[in-house]
């Protein structure tokens, strides 16, 4: 069970750090409420380490890793089926006004 959770956490932590790096590149003028020491090397090292950990998990426990990936894929399928796609245009006023 710990391996299952650890593998999932490793995948999502790497995706989160990657998303922050992409957002920082796409939105250079956005407010930076915190500074990342060693940026951009730090996220690259973190993502590379996470990939190595995930690879080691797949190599040592392939069945458990396959179950994790099946869970993640099935969750993504259900999400994209049940969650409507965003509409184009402005947001409704009840969402934009305080």
- Cα 81 to Cα 43, 56, 72: the distances in Å are 32, 32, 14
Q: Is residue 98 in a domain? A: no
- Non-local (6+) Cβ contacts of 57 within 8 A are 3, 6, 7, 10, 64, 65
Query: Considering the domain boundaries, does residue 48 fall inside one?
Result: yes
17-56 pLDDT, tens per residue? 999 889 888 888 888 887 878 888 999 999 999 999 999 9
Q: What does the block give as tokens for 11?
A: 């995948």
87 found inside a domain? no
Q: Examine residue 56 and state whether it is found in any structural domain, yes or no.
A: yes
Indicate whether 10 pLDDT > 90: yes
Q: Which domain holds residue 8?
A: 1-29+37-65
| Structural domain total, the chain | 1
**Mean pLDDT over the full length of the chain:** 86
Over 60: is that where the pLDDT of 96 sits? no
Q: Is residue 5 over pLDDT 80?
A: yes
14 located within any domain: yes
């Amino acid at each position: 069970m710990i391996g299952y959770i650890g593998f999932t956490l490793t995948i999502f932590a790497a995706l989160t750090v990657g998303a922050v790096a992409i957002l920082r590149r796409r939105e250079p003028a956005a407010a930076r409420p915190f500074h990342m020491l060693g940026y951009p090397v730090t996220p690259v090292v973190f993502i590379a380490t996470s990939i190595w950990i995930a690879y080691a998990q797949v190599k040592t426990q392939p069945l458990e890793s396959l179950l994790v990936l099946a869970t993640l894929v099935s969750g993504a399928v259900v999400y994209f089926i049940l969650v409507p796609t965003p509409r184009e245009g402005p947001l409704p006023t009840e969402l934009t006004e305080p």
